[in-house]
Structure 1
Amino acid sequence: MYQPSGKPTILGDCLLLTVSILINAFGNALTVSLNLGSALWTASAVNLAHLFAMNLGNMLLIEGVAVILANALLLRQFDWHRMLGNFLFMVPFSYLVSGITQLLLHLGITQLPIASAVIVDIIGVMLISCGISIYQRVNLILHPNDDLMQIIRFRFLHGNAIVASLVAYLTPLTIICITFAIQHQVWAVNVGTFVALIFQGSFIALSDRFVFGRLRHQRL
């Protein structure tokens, strides 16, 4: 899977990308189905989906398109290769999260005792962070939300994952506040959301070191 130089082969990159997407999608689905707090971007999409009475997969897709345009503004150019990669990542990922969420609900995940559910929700946040860490380092294609964090991290904050994560979360936090003001109700915001807000950058940094530790950031 790795070349003598230590970099992954093309096949290795594709395998790592696939594994990371599955890890991230499963983590997101755990947090959404338990409703004990999703990562901030997912939580904002859940609340928008309730506001507009839309399927979560469709809302994740719409939100992603908006972030692609925001990323282009930050980069001050329309990098069509990068934008196409964002779109290719986002479309199957959005519906994968929605599909796994429905499967977990069908399997009765909401019947877990509250203490176990909170632990599983936090594990979901950690899985999301692990998936992000892997595919950001592979950097073949990225989800636009994670591309935003990557742009902020390496173009403005000298590679600091923790601060970049907090800055990138300002937008979904604002969305959640606006939807709450309109609906007077909030979904997918709970203990897991606060864990993600405070610790997801640290989880990503730890995953950079300990999950596929030979893998370094590429194509920056």
Structure 2
Amino acid sequence: MLGDCILLIISIIINSLGNALTVSLNLGSALWTASAVNMSHLFNMNLGNILLLEGIAVILSNAMLLHQFDWHRMLGNVLFMVPFSYLVSGIAQLLTVFHIQQLSLVPSVILDIIGVMMIGCGISIYQRINLILHPNDDFMQILRFRYLHGNAVTASLVAFIIPITIIAICFVIQRHLWAVNIGTIVALLFQGTFIALSDRYIFRKLKHQRL
């Protein structure tokens, strides 16, 4: 149990850093993060607050998919989501001190893709531990194991329909996009693959638990 808790903390840090890196570079974030960034501009709200509100909405969606209010699971979602939301926002602000936005295109793109890979790695670890999950990743996990026969790639693509819709609505209203670029395309096409590869090669003895 202690080992699972340590791995959970490590995975949250990896995922938070990956998300913050993509936000700071503005070359394309993972789709859920990109949708939150666009909503933060639309409503002129702090990114951490938007991530929190978005997470609450997904918690309710998860309950609908499960056909029940699993209060233990929902509490775990909240316990994960609150520190994670503000950790991403805080690290993103901290990274601006290093002026990474001023890097030339090639190293910026490489760093952005590394950020997306870190997100996939973090998700893989804490989904396998399955103590508590971010509601977005719980959403993908529910789709993956209850509806899509364990296929991480298909589950990621289906789960992305919601943030893509949010981004599209924000674009129609604002006529501008933030945090949507090459990294977003990489996340859309390969995040499920990054999760599946991390399942296989990162902490290989760690299997999916508590499903």
TM superposition score category, shorter chain reference: over 0.9
Q: How does 1:175-194 map to 2 (within 5 A)?
A: 175-194=166-185
What root-mean-square deviation, in Å, do the aligned CA atoms of Structure 1 and Structure 2 show?
0.3
List alignment gaps of at least 5 residues for structure 2.
Answer: none
Residue 144 of structure 2 is matched in structure 1 by 153
State whether structure 2 residue 80 is matched by structure 1 residue 89.
yes
Q: Secondary structure at the match of 1:72?
A: helix
List alignment gaps of at least 5 residues for structure 1.
Answer: 1-9
Matched residue type, 2:209: Q
CA distance in 2, matches of 1:58, 1:106: 22
CA distance in 2, matches of 1:196, 1:163: 13
State whether structure 2 residue 106 is matched by structure 1 residue 119.
no
* Superposition deviation, residue 172 in structure 1: 0.2
CA distance in 2, matches of 1:110, 1:178: 27
CA distance in 1, matches of 2:11, 2:101: 25
Residue 21 of structure 1 is matched in structure 2 by 12
Residue 40 of structure 2 is matched in structure 1 by 49
CA distance in 1, matches of 2:52, 2:190: 26
CA distance in 2, matches of 1:112, 1:197: 24
Q: Deviations over 1:128-182 (max 9, x none)?
A: 0000000000000000000000000000011000000000000000000000000
CA distance in 2, matches of 1:111, 1:48: 25
CA distance in 2, matches of 1:109, 1:186: 20
TM-score (norm 2): 1.00
Q: Secondary structure at the match of 1:77?
A: coil
State whether structure 2 residue 92 is matched by structure 1 residue 101.
yes
Matched residue type, 2:4: D
Residue 24 of structure 2 is matched in structure 1 by 33
Q: Percent identity between the aligned chains?
A: 73
Q: Secondary structure at the match of 2:141?
A: helix
Residue 159 of structure 2 is matched in structure 1 by 168
* Aligned pair partner of 2:195 in 201, 204, 218: 204
State whether structure 2 residue 114 is matched by structure 1 residue 130.
no
Q: Deviations over 1:16-41 (max 9, x none)?
A: 10000000000000000000000000
Matched residue type, 2:61: A
Number of equivalent positions = 211
Matched residue type, 2:12: I
CA distance in 1, matches of 2:58, 2:98: 33
- Structure 1 residue runs of 4 or more that deviate by more than 3 Å after TM superposition: none
Q: Secondary structure at the match of 2:69?
A: coil
Q: Deviations over 1:168-209 (max 9, x none)?
A: 000000000000000000000000000000000000000000
Matched residue type, 1:90: M
Q: Secondary structure at the match of 1:188?
A: coil
* Aligned pair partner of 1:60 in 47, 51, 57: 51
